[in-house]
A and B are shown apart, each in its own frame.
Chain A
Amino acid sequence: MQDRRLKYVLILPAALLVLGTTIWPLAVSLVTSFRDWRLTRSLTPGPFIGSEHYVTALTDDPDFLNALQVTASFVAIDVTLTVVCALGLALLLRRAGVLHSLTRAVLILPFAVSPALVGISFRFMFNAEMGVFTWLAGTLVPWLKGYVWLGDPVASLLVLVFSDAWRWVPYMTLVVLGGLSALPREPEEAARIDGASEWQVLRDVTLPALLPVLAVVAILKTVFALKMFDQVVTLTGGGPGQSTTTLAYLVYSIAFRWYDMGYASAVAWILTAMLVFLAVWYMKLILRKPGGA
């Protein structure tokens, strides 16, 4: 048959594109991670030095350790906050109604805003002198008046989490809403008749049935939180100090501020390994036969 060959011809451009823009750079960076290559010394890659970069990163680099810690805290708080808020909002928006469906339609907007822009607008909102949030917090809690949110290591990480949650929660709410609308309504009704309060219905019937969807949301959000970069650049610049330097931002710093391409590639690959591990887990979870619970 002719079209047996035709189909390969048709996917060839796409395959070449992926090869050229994804596979090739990845391969190059993997090779680079085993070489000594500082742009300050040479424009061409230096000699192979084996796994030295990896050993350094994992055993002897306070910056890497710090970034790992920052990333871990960021992921933990960000994922928890996103899942809890998305679940809460989805439960509130679940009922039918004009107002509810209108809100559902508006929910997609924050996700349409580019993350870099989110970072910039949050920087303005948390500006110590003219930020609307600083003003709001100062009005509600007097001793927070004029507080320099982005000057405090802990607060600035929380602001970073807040900006990311603002962008992601509405989208994840829609995902959870989809999961909720796929649940049969009889088990919940049966529980109500059996004498369960709304809280007990949620705990004993709705949440267990929703668990697979929540797991998908959590893993997906973990993957994206691990890659946190845009808002770090535009909102906190990794600081104060290194308090918001995530792994992705560290890679960027090593490569384009200190020009150590070899080491940056190695750290990038450590991050990639974590992401691949999670992605595989995620695929396993969603490819499991549906309606498992």
Chain B
Amino acid sequence: MAEVSLRNVTKAWGSFTAVRDQSLEIRDGEFMVLLGPSGCGKTTTMRMIAGLEEPTAGDILIGGQRVNDLPPRDRDIAMVFQSYGLYPHMTVEDNIGYPLKLRGIKGAERAAQVRAAAAKVELEALLHRRPKELSGGQRQRVALARAIVRRPTVFLMDEPLSNLDAKLRVSTRAEIKHLQHELGVTTVYVTHDQIEAMTLAHRVAVMQGGEIRQLDTPEVIYDRPADLFVAGFIGSPPMNLVQGQHADGRFTAAGGFHAVTGVARHSGPAVLGVRPEDVTVAPAGQGDLDASIYAVELTGDAVLVTVQAGDSRIIAKADRAWRAEIGSSVALRLDASRLHLFDAASTKRLQPE
């Protein structure tokens, strides 16, 4: 068990900087999720913690000890690679058992531990196959089993569920969460799936372009995104963002869109954000804004209603039984306590007093 710290860590290849002056304190036993779009430096950050990549600048500490000069094998880490990194000539059983073999665990005991790990990811039936005889999702589960077969100081998981089907993903996600809770092993988990980030994390670090944009609990990230990038990245469908002007606590946009924000001290160009689930579509005349239906999409568990309000298009999430004709007039109600206001120039969040 140990805390992991990154202190002003930078990784550059030539003139390209993949991770920029990043500082991150991961607490002992914490489940930290790195979330961000493709190419933002998640894998690079993780590889530096593992010791596979040397930071260009800055320090990495595990359990208070500086590990910059420590080879991977001495860091007591288990890692799930994004591209699996299985041993091609070994069977599934030998792949999973390799970390145990290196630690001198033999025979029946090793076999028992391998089988237990394989069972957690539903691999028992495939123990004697080789990686090339497995599907992508099965390979990924072997990689996961190889990581959880022992009790390391730190788990590093690089998109460990990306290739699993929806059902297996849900069950394996629960398995990981349970396991991490039970063992209390500090875990760094990379994903670009927000549901995974929300469900698993104690804290989420949202990254973009090699920098952490916001580091907080999933609730805060969702309810109070620190800037426009985080606001637009988290949530599915994404938060509605309307460009306009803000003055005296009132936001207006072209075509008659308006809302009361409760932010007194700001005036000038601003962006108003509201999540689809905080928008209610009401019968015409019974809301704050007049609008017309632009599109209606049934997603299964909800209906996504796109409405035209002034010059802006807003997506609202409605009950799955909700229906309306395209073009018909409606009214919108925005949940005033859940409006987000961002300064257009700095993209930073403006907090209501």
Closest CB of chain B to A269's CB: distance in Å? 40
B88 in contact with A193 (CB, 8 Å): no
Complex Cα spacing A191 to B85, Å: 9
Chain A residues with Cβ under 8 A from B98's Cβ? 191, 194, 196, 204
Closest CB of chain B to A56's CB: distance in Å? 48
Within 8 A of B (CB), among A147-189: 184, 186-187, 189
B52 in contact with A208 (CB, 8 Å): no
B322 within 8 A of A: no
B31 within 8 A of A: no
B50 within 8 A of A: yes
Chain A residues with Cβ under 8 A from B78's Cβ? 193-194
Size band of the interface chain B makes with A? 20 to 34
Complex Cα spacing A248 to B86, Å: 47
Given A200-B102, A204-B98: A193 in contact with B73 (beta carbons within 8 A)? yes
A293 in contact with B88 (CB, 8 Å): yes
Closest CB of chain B to A161's CB: distance in Å? 32
Closest CB of chain B to A63's CB: distance in Å? 46
Given A194-B99, A196-B73: A187 in contact with B88 (beta carbons within 8 A)? yes
Per-residue contact bits, chain B 57-72, to A (CB 8 Å; 1 contact, 0 not): 0000000000000011
Complex Cα spacing A137 to B327, Å: 97
Complex Cα spacing A196 to B100, Å: 11
B275 within 8 A of A: no
A192 within 8 A of B: yes
B284 within 8 A of A: no
A195 within 8 A of B: yes
Complex Cα spacing A293 to B132, Å: 9
Contact of A187 among B51, B52, B86, B103 (CB under 8 A): B86
A205 within 8 A of B: yes
Q: Count CB-based A-B contacts (< 8 Å).
A: 61
A193 in contact with B50 (CB, 8 Å): yes
Closest CB of chain B to A83's CB: distance in Å? 19
Given A194-B146, A204-B98: A187 in contact with B72 (beta carbons within 8 A)? no
B86 in contact with A190 (CB, 8 Å): yes
Complex Cα spacing A200 to B75, Å: 17
Complex Cα spacing A293 to B98, Å: 18
Give the one of A184, A191, A195, A204 with max B CB within 10 A.
A195
A103 within 8 A of B: no
Complex Cα spacing A187 to B89, Å: 11
Contact of A197 among B73, B77, B84 (CB under 8 A): B73
Contact of A194 among B52, B83, B89, B102 (CB under 8 A): B102
Give the one of B50, B51, B86, B102 with max A CB within 10 A.
B102
Per-residue contact bits, chain A 50-89, to B (CB 8 Å; 1 contact, 0 not): 0000000000000000000000000000000000000000
Given A195-B99, A200-B102: A189 in contact with B72 (beta carbons within 8 A)? yes
A209 within 8 A of B: yes
Complex Cα spacing A192 to B71, Å: 8
B85 in contact with A195 (CB, 8 Å): no
Closest CB of chain A to B132's CB: distance in Å? 8
Given A195-B102, A196-B102: A190 in contact with B87 (beta carbons within 8 A)? yes
Chain A residues with Cβ under 8 A from B52's Cβ? 189, 192-193
A186 in contact with B103 (CB, 8 Å): no
B73 in contact with A186 (CB, 8 Å): no
Closest CB of chain B to A196's CB: distance in Å? 6
Chain B residues with Cβ under 8 A from A184's Cβ? 83, 85
Chain A residues with Cβ under 8 A from B79's Cβ? 190, 193
Complex Cα spacing A194 to B71, Å: 12
**Which chain A residue has the least Cβ–Cβ distance from B50?**
A193
B81 within 8 A of A: yes
Closest CB of chain A to B68's CB: distance in Å? 16
Closest CB of chain B to A180's CB: distance in Å? 15
Chain A residues with Cβ under 8 A from B71's Cβ? 192
**Which chain A residue has the least Cβ–Cβ distance from B149?**
A194
Closest CB of chain B to A194's CB: distance in Å? 4
Closest CB of chain A to B23's CB: distance in Å? 24
**Which chain B residue has the least Cβ–Cβ distance from A190?**
B85
Chain B residues with Cβ under 8 A from A187's Cβ? 85-88
Contact of A186 among B72, B75, B81, B89 (CB under 8 A): B81
Closest CB of chain B to A213's CB: distance in Å? 14
A186 in contact with B85 (CB, 8 Å): yes
Chain A residues with Cβ under 8 A from B83's Cβ? 184, 186
Complex Cα spacing A205 to B131, Å: 14
Closest CB of chain B to A270's CB: distance in Å? 38
Closest CB of chain B to A12's CB: distance in Å? 45
A209 in contact with B89 (CB, 8 Å): yes
Closest CB of chain A to B110's CB: distance in Å? 13
B85 in contact with A204 (CB, 8 Å): no
Chain B residues with Cβ under 8 A from A200's Cβ? 102
Complex Cα spacing A118 to B84, Å: 48
- Where the two chains meet, the residues of A that have a C-beta atom closer than 8 Å to any C-beta of B are 184, 186-187, 189-197, 200, 204-205, 208-209, 293
> 6 additional contacts, CB 8 Å, given A194-B98, A196-B102?
A186-B85, A191-B87, A193-B50, A194-B78, A195-B99, A200-B102
- Sample 20 A-B pairs with CB under 8 A, ordered by A number: A186-B83, A189-B50, A189-B81, A191-B87, A192-B71, A192-B73, A193-B51, A193-B52, A193-B72, A193-B73, A193-B78, A194-B78, A194-B102, A195-B73, A195-B103, A196-B73, A196-B102, A205-B87, A208-B88, A293-B88
- Where the two chains meet, the residues of B that have a C-beta atom closer than 8 Å to any C-beta of A are 50-52, 71-73, 75, 77-79, 81, 83-89, 98-99, 102-103, 146
